[in-house]
Amino acid sequence: MIIKDSIGYFLGLLLTVSPALTVAQPGRPSFPKRPNIQPNPIQPYKAIPLQSQRNPHKVCYVKPGNKGDDAGRIRDALRKCNNGGTVVLDQEYTICTPLDLRFLKHVDIALTGKVEFCTEIEFWQQNLFEFHFQDASSWWVWGGEDVHLYGADTGVIHGNGQSWYDAYAANGTLRRPLLFIADGWHGGSITGLKLRQSPNWHNFIANSSDLLISDIDIFSRSSSSAWASNLDGWDTFRSDNIVIQNSVINHDDDCVSFKPNSTNIIVQGLQCNGSHGISVGSLGNYPYQYDIVSDLYIYNNTMANTTTAARLKVWPGAEAVKRGNPPWVGGGGQGYVRNVTYDTMINDNNNLAIQIDQCYGAINASECLDHPSQVILTDVLFKNIWGTANGADDPVAGQLICGSEDSCDNIRAENVTLTNPSGEPPQWECRYQDEELLDLGGVGCIPA
């Protein structure tokens, strides 16, 4: 009995750690095992549990319905193979009703097929999961403990965003769902997926910890005159010890955005095209909230055709109204940003390489000066940043603008070199900066 148990244990271990092996059952197709993807090269602030075992005999294959709603089938399979099994989604599935998956524990999901969502816009308006932060909502929510979702570079999650882009152009109050929400996901990974045509932000990582996100391919563009806007790649919120790495993002808006209470996060090896940068914030949006963002390391990322590459955006210290449909309203919140490093960032045809904006949302500069931000920026470093600007703000290559002498401290730049298409030396607009801490390629600050 002891020998038999030992053989079973070591067989299970072998199948778990070897990404080349597949598991087959009589009459069932094989499926790829969870790949052995690790954080690299910068290691997480604490180890992420990635080597948990699964029972190779506890496998649930999900058979899609005949062009119906597969939400119930997916939920049932995850309940059946929860606590030690694997769920295989290797065909095409449609989700037409809300799907709450926050009960997951010790389970793998091999999503090597395609999941898409019905375009019943009026139905979804009344049936989305809602989060009380920047009107975030979604048609499904994932969460749990020791959960690994992987696509083996073939799995697709498709949001049918074009219908939403067109509808939103006609009605700016329409609630557009986020493509993927993790809410309370503790330990595990999300790897090897293709995310397509999200109606809104692609990923919202909320109330989660100890999570590796790697090898994700994001593409969302509008094929009509309706703009595909606010399609952030990842937004983190109240989450700790997250690694986002080795992914390609083609979309509009922030490539990654660190929302309130994002701590101990590494972002590395991304290729971001057409975005608004890798951004801290926006912060200080709500007057009743104390926002904290700390210990971020943003390493070796390529930013192309962006408005800004490295960005920190903070609302003023009193409520501001920004033009829009509907108009933005925010400001007056408190908090701090501490120990943030942007290291090795390649700029390719960007408006600005660096932007610190403590007047985010303000209509004019006087509004910001009269009500300086109450979110304090401390110990922020930009280093090894180079490349080309696109000439949109030529000769200005960046802005480091703080709201007051007291709202920024120890903002540093090292080995920052940018080239303007005009050939003019790059200029840096600064306000309330210690210029002795700024190595901007031999070019000093000009007043903002």
The pLDDT of 432-448, averaged and rounded, is: 90
Reply yes or no on whether the pLDDT at 394 is more than 80: yes
Active site residue 148: no
Q: At 266, give phi and psi (nearest 5°).
A: -115, 130
pLDDT band at 245 (very low <50, low <70, confident <90, very high): very high
Q: Which residue has the tokens 């790649």?
A: 233
Strands 137-138 and 129-130: antiparallel
Catalytic choice (158, 186, 251, 276): 276
The mean predicted confidence, pLDDT, of the chain is: 91
pLDDT band at 23 (very low <50, low <70, confident <90, very high): very low
Structural tokens at position 418: 């940018």
pLDDT band at 91 (very low <50, low <70, confident <90, very high): very high
pLDDT of residue 49: 96
User: What is the rounded CA–CA span in Å between residue 360 and residue 371?
Assistant: 12
Give the three-class secondary structure for 121: helix
pLDDT band at 440 (very low <50, low <70, confident <90, very high): very high
* 160 Rama sector, left if φ>0, alpha if ψ -120 to 50, beta otherwise: left
Domains of the chain with CATH codes: 38-232 (2.160.20.10), 254-448 (2.160.20.10)
User: What is the rounded CA–CA span in Å between residue 70 and residue 238?
Assistant: 31
Q: Which residue has the tokens 């210990």?
A: 295
pLDDT of residue 2: 37
Instruction: Report yes or no: 258 and 296 within 8 Å, Cβ to Cβ.
Output: yes
Q: At 57, give phi and psi (nearest 5°).
A: -100, -5
Instruction: Report yes or no: 402 and 377 within 8 Å, Cβ to Cβ.
Output: yes
CA distances from 28 to 22, 64, 93, 103 (A): 12, 15, 18, 27
Of residues 328 and 40, more confidence is placed in 40
What DSSP designation does 178 have? Answer: B
What DSSP designation does 203 have? Answer: E
Reply yes or no on whether the pLDDT at 16 is more than 70: no
Encode pLDDT of 290-314 as tens digits. Answer: 999 999 999 999 999 999 999 999 9
Q: Provide the percentage of residues in the chain whose pLDDT is more than 70.
A: 92
Reply yes or no on whether the pLDDT at 17 is more than 70: no
Burial of 45 (0-12, 13-18, 19+ CB in 10 A): middle
Residue (of 107, 123, 52) closest to 75 by Cα position = 107
Of residues 8 and 257, more confidence is placed in 257
The pLDDT of 142-156, averaged and rounded, is: 98
Encode pLDDT of 174-208 as tens digits. Answer: 999 999 999 999 999 999 999 999 999 999 999 99
Instruction: Report yes or no: 168 and 176 within 8 Å, Cβ to Cβ.
Output: yes
pLDDT of residue 326: 66
Angle at 362 between CA 357 and CA 363, to 5 degrees: 125
pLDDT band at 104 (very low <50, low <70, confident <90, very high): very high
